[in-house]
Amino acid sequence: GSAGRGAGVLGGSAASSRCRYHVFLSFRGETRKAFTDHLYIALDHAGYHTFRDNNEIERGESINSELEKAIQQSRISIIVFSKDYASSKACLYELLIILQCSRTSGQVVLPIFYDVDPTEVRNQTDSFSESFAGYEEQLKPETNYGRKMELAKKVRVWREALKEVVDLAGISRPEKFPLESLRLVSVHDIFLVIITCRQESKFIKQIVKVIGDKLSRTIMSVAMYPVGIRSQAKAINLWLQDASMDVSAYAIWGMGGLGKTTIAKYVYNLNFHRFADSSFLANIREVSKQPRGLIQLQSQLLSDILKRRKDRITTVDEGIVKIKDAICAKRVLLVLDDVDDVEQLNAILGMCDWLYPGSKIIITMRHEWLLKPHAVYKIHEIEKLDDEASIKLFSWHAFGQEYPTEQYMEHSQRVVHHCGGLPLALQVLASFLSRKTLDIWDSALAKLQAIPNSQIIEKLKISYDSLEDDHDKNLFLHIACFFCGEDKYFVVKVLDACGFYSYIGIQNLVDRCLVTINNEDKIMMHQLIQDMGREIVRQESPKEPAKRSRLYMASSAILFGTEGNDGMNTSMHLLNSLGALKVLNLCYSRKLMETPDFSGFRNLERLILKGCQSLLGVGETIGFLERLALLNLEDCKNLRKLPKNISMLQLLETLIISDCSNLDEFPTELTKMESLKECFNLVTEGTSFVLIEHNILEDKFGRGRLFSIRLLEERSRSNGGDRESDECGFGGATGRRAASIGGGGGGQEEEPVSSHDPVVAAEEGSG
């Protein structure tokens, strides 16, 4: 066959294939030179690109690939059912493809019953019965069991398809039609045109009008490579296709860059034709910021629903009244994209009880708290892409194929790991790296570790900018720099002591998808969200770290990890300018051999040196840290001694020296420290280290007081993130098998010890 007029792309569709045609005509040859020819000419004159097969001979038992492709690339399929329609297997194959496109890509189906009753089609009676009787006869002489079962299955599927195309419209057997009449019935997504006369021109005009109404609705442009969208949209599609007459709303919620708007466009394209009218209000957050922005959105909604030029609206209140009148009389589908304020919902939507029964609303947002007062909302939280979908999406954008070439596979996997399942990041970086050499890839990946991609950061930063005050913004930056992966209770304790209102602040961050709380009550953050927070801090002073509000990375802030004396002197000068610093986290600075002069850190409360495996000793100036409450030296494997004037730390409560396997001097001055409540240290079999602690603590706590040495179970790091900075302990014995030594006096009840825990306990002076 040959195509009808026009081959240009008509617009995006919900499927990955693009629409080339407005209309596909499916018909039996008996109507070709009469009704179908007249309809084709009318559609052509109306400017609609229409595909019809011009081959008049029987096409056999299947349809060619060109015909199948034409169906898939059409926005509307018109099926002209005539008396001999079912006698053509090719027509029945076309019907199957058309219904499949209706289910998967939102294609509009318009059946026209030409001189046949819909019940003849549904029940396969009269001429349709004769056609299927012929197919049943073909089964009888077939001796090959496989071929016989295959044909029987085809006949069953054809019968079901004919029933489906009528039943979806809810048609019952019609009464006698007046001569020269047309009946147009619309229920859900199928439109039936029943023709019972020979004067067809007026009916064809009405059919063209119906086509025009359906095509006038704007199809939203969806992602070029919609990887992972269909699975995310499945539940929303089922909800939209529910025939219930309840009014309800569905919120698509999640962090920036996950594809909320893309999924909303996808389900809108699939389902808008199921409703009398529809409207997709895009980018509400940005539009509402403009002068008369809310009024502009109200006008757009009224124009979409009422099918006329935008009404003049002078105030938001006037717009609310007009919207109420417009949406109360018919079943509508509304999509409100990127809502970030209750005022926007009230101005555009008002109350759900305004809506006509069966209407549906979809809202995309980053802020879950907007919906909490409204019980009628369903909430769908968008999930990150898994590794398989991520590599596919990245590959399509970078290489134009499903998987990367072998040469680029390892580099592609590194990019995918960096993106953490965020579609926006995958697309941006793929587009940037496309057609670049491996040297460029290596350089770009190295740069991303220090300076995140600005396009991704700006998109993610929208949620940060929406925080209501400096309190929550500073709280977020503290967590991004220091507390990702830490226990929520510990973080609250630290930040509350710094003047924050941490519980309400953390909840505000959760509501905006900036942080999550996992099953172990740890505060977690998407890697790119953390990068965004740290980049905000870096931008405060890109070249002079000392002028930033926070220092967090040993590798980037010329901290003690630099080689040579010049680097050390620069680092010491930098840190000594930070007299107001309360928390200094230098964990995993593997080239750090000695600590700086601490005399300028009078306000320091927590010093974390975990994993500094080149550190040989802690300088005596640590005695100047009058407010230090925690000192974490875990896994400093080359540390040989602690300074004697550690006893000057009058507020030190917690000392962590787990895995300091070369520590051979444990100062007896610790016995003078009344403030010390916890000391965590590795129990190493075959050494006298436990005995040393035993003697020290016996002196410290005195005779008649109970103490114990307990082996702690190793704590899982499965939720601690991949970066070493997330494993830095701010308190408690973390990560290694450790012994906890603590006084049992003071009126506190001793914790029960299970039989499998090795315990050394002594009670002095008990006789």
Q: Which residues are catalytic?
A: 94
List Cβ neighbours of 528 (8 Å cut-off, separation of 6 or more): 257, 419, 420, 422, 425, 452, 456, 460
Query: With left for phi above 0 and alpha for psi between -120 and 50, is residue 400 left, alpha or beta?
Result: left
Amino acid at 753: V
CA angle 627-630-633, nearest 5°?
A: 130
Mind spelling out the 3-state secondary structure of 420-465?
A: CCCHHHHHHHHHHHCCCCHHHHHHHHHHHHHCCCHHHHHHHHHHHH
Please count the residues of the chain.
Answer: 767
The dihedral through the CA atoms of 233, 236, 242, 245 has a sign that is: negative
Q: How many other CB atoms are there within 10 angstroms of residue 271's CB atom? A: 23
Report the alpha-carbon distance of residue 509 to residue 473 in Å, rounded.
9
Q: What is the DSSP string of 192-247?
A: EEEE--S--HHHHHHHHHHHHHHHTSPPPP--SS-TTHHHHHHHHHHHHT------
Report the alpha-carbon distance of residue 231 to residue 238 in Å, rounded.
12
CA atoms within 13 A on the CB side of 520: 12
Report the alpha-carbon distance of residue 310 to residue 326 in Å, rounded.
13
Helix (H, G, I), strand (E, B) or coil at 352: helix
CB 647 within 8 A of CB 624: no
CB 14 within 8 A of CB 280: no
CB 338 within 8 A of CB 274: no
Report the alpha-carbon distance of residue 696 to residue 681 in Å, rounded.
14
Pairing of strands 332-339, 277-281: parallel
CB 651 within 8 A of CB 623: no
The DSSP symbol for 543 reads: S
Residue 434, Cβ density class (10 Å: 0-12 exposed, 13-18 middle, ≥19 buried): exposed
CB 293 within 8 A of CB 319: no
Residue 471, Cβ density class (10 Å: 0-12 exposed, 13-18 middle, ≥19 buried): middle
**Six-digit token string for 346:** 């009230």
**Alpha helices in 224-365, H assignment, sequence order:** 229-240, 260-271, 284-287, 293-306, 316-327, 342-348
Q: How far, rounded to the nearest angstrom, does the alpha carbon of residue 684 sit from its chain's CA centroid?
A: 46
Report the alpha-carbon distance of residue 581 to residue 603 in Å, rounded.
6
Helix (H, G, I), strand (E, B) or coil at 551: coil
CB 535 within 8 A of CB 461: no
For the sheet containing 707-712, what is the strand order? 583-585, 606-608, 630-632, 654-657, 678-681, 738-743, 707-712, 759-762
Report which secondary-structure segment, H or E, holds 510.
Answer: helix 502-511
**Alpha helices in 106-200, H assignment, sequence order:** 118-123, 127-139, 145-167
CB 550 within 8 A of CB 530: no
Extended beta strands in 449-560, E state: 516-517, 523-524
